[in-house]
Amino acid sequence: MHRTGDLYGQFETLEQQKESATLGMWTFLITEILFFGGLFLTYTINRHTYADVFSFSSRTIKLSWGAINTVVLIGSSLTMAMSVWSAQVGKKKLVTIFLILTLILGTVFLGIKGIEYHDKYVEHHIPGASFDMYFCTNNPGACNLTTEELAQERTELKELEDKVGGPVAVNAHSQLFFSLYFGMTGLHALHMIIGAGLLLWLIVESMRGRFSPRWNTPVENVGLYWHFVDIVWIYLFPLLYLIDRH
């Protein structure tokens, strides 16, 4: 199908094209909800079955990074919304600026996620052959933890063992937690990376001045996607970081 200006050949009018694209994006997001839904269900059931081990494992993740990331991501939603607004009112320069800001914030998020993953790698909390919940307590100094923190962890591990029946179970069940942690945040990060790619494309198009009050559906739709990915994080953060932290 050929394209005349902004209008693709299968459509009669720009309105029809816009309506189709928007409906398509919403439909896609519904699919995404169910895609993440499978993971959320798996998490919820295991969280219920292994409540104690899950809350212990959750406490070994640093709260600060997660909290900072939540703020960063909410900020990026704001800049994204601003760029959609700028496109709608025809401020072409601002569109580009806000898109770039969104991209920067998204990248900061991914960077921080990288730091967190690296911490988990150092602590041997990555599921697989070398997974070991006792690595830090057995090798003081290898992990970035204070003596008090280590002592605290030792007592908690002891209590857990009594509850669930020994270190093997502790390791198995916390490995479940971290499988889900990496599965969920990994899938989320993958969505962020795809989103960053989309932003890059929008930035190039926007610098060419393609978005106007008449036609800005791509900005709007990537915006929808970006907000969706943010909302997923808004659920992930309490589920994974805030269990039992008062």
Q: How far is the CB of 33 from other proteins (least distance, A)?
A: 8
Of 27 and 212, nearer to other proteins (C-beta) is: 27
Asked if 113 and 237 count as a contact pair (C-beta separation under 8 A), the reply is no
Joined together, the tokens standing for residue 12 give 């009669």
Residue 56 binds other proteins, judged by CB under 8 A: no
Look at residue 7 and give its three-state secondary structure.
strand
Of 23 and 71, nearer to other proteins (C-beta) is: 23
Of 12 and 148, nearer to other proteins (C-beta) is: 12
Joined together, the tokens standing for residue 130 give 């070398």
Of 103 and 176, nearer to other proteins (C-beta) is: 176
Torsion angle (degrees, nearest 10) of CA 218, 202, 189, 120:
-160
Residue 35 binds other proteins, judged by CB under 8 A: yes
Torsion angle (degrees, nearest 10) of CA 111, 117, 118, 119:
120
Residue 49 binds other proteins, judged by CB under 8 A: yes
Based on the number of CB atoms within 10 Å of its own CB, is 138 exposed (0-12), middle (13-18) or buried (19 or more)?
exposed
Residue 127 binds other proteins, judged by CB under 8 A: yes
Of 24 and 114, nearer to other proteins (C-beta) is: 24
Residue 197 binds other proteins, judged by CB under 8 A: no
Nearest of 125, 130, 170 to residue 143 by alpha carbon: 125
The angle at the Cα of 26, spanning 114 to 23, to the nearest 5 degrees, equals 145
Residue 34 binds other proteins, judged by CB under 8 A: yes
Q: How far is the CB of 20 from other proteins (least distance, A)?
A: 4
Asked if 183 and 191 count as a contact pair (C-beta separation under 8 A), the reply is no
Of 3, 41, 118, 245, the residue at the interface with other proteins (CB under 8 A) is 41
Look at residue 146 and give its three-state secondary structure.
coil
Residues 134 to 193: which contact other proteins by CB under 8 A?
169, 172-173, 175-176, 179-180, 183
Residue 9 binds other proteins, judged by CB under 8 A: yes
Q: How far is the CB of 54 from other proteins (least distance, A)?
A: 11
Joined together, the tokens standing for residue 45 give 């059931």
Binding site for other proteins (CB under 8 A): 1, 9-12, 16, 19-20, 23-24, 27-28, 30-32, 34-39, 41-42, 45-46, 49-50, 127-129, 169, 172-173, 175-176, 179-180, 183
